[in-house]
Structure 1
């Protein structure tokens, strides 16, 4: 079942990190829906948030390949069911008022 995944990467600031990350998604034929970069002034680290629409098998394959990149310090994935639960709770809350 395909759903929306948000992958958060904490990386070192190097020139080729974006290229290496993009190649992983390209090899797995997954289009990036949204990407957000944030750099930290005091440290040499960046935070990259990537939103994709894919199935769980491809996401697991992508995560295994991303873990091999040395410059990536941390990788986190937001559970796609998290978005559905928030929307469901909001509807219930609105019905109660």
Structure 2
């Protein structure tokens, strides 16, 4: 993985974390006294859960890259392919979340 990709992942993680905090704050302020309020709160917490999953996936890629955890694959080529797949999935999930919040 190139250094510019690592930096992109770090920035993406920060943006998602900012969105997650904002979404959680809205969820906390949502009332549960009505059926609609309970539904809204559950929906928002679902988004927060998905955002946390995306951040965890990105962090796992960064940890493998930095050597904090051992790579999944035996060879460098298969490890890079695995990392690229994780990045692609995380970017797709982040794009879906941004679209849902827009």
- Give the alignment's TM-score, normalised by structure 1: 0.34
TM-score (norm 2): 0.33
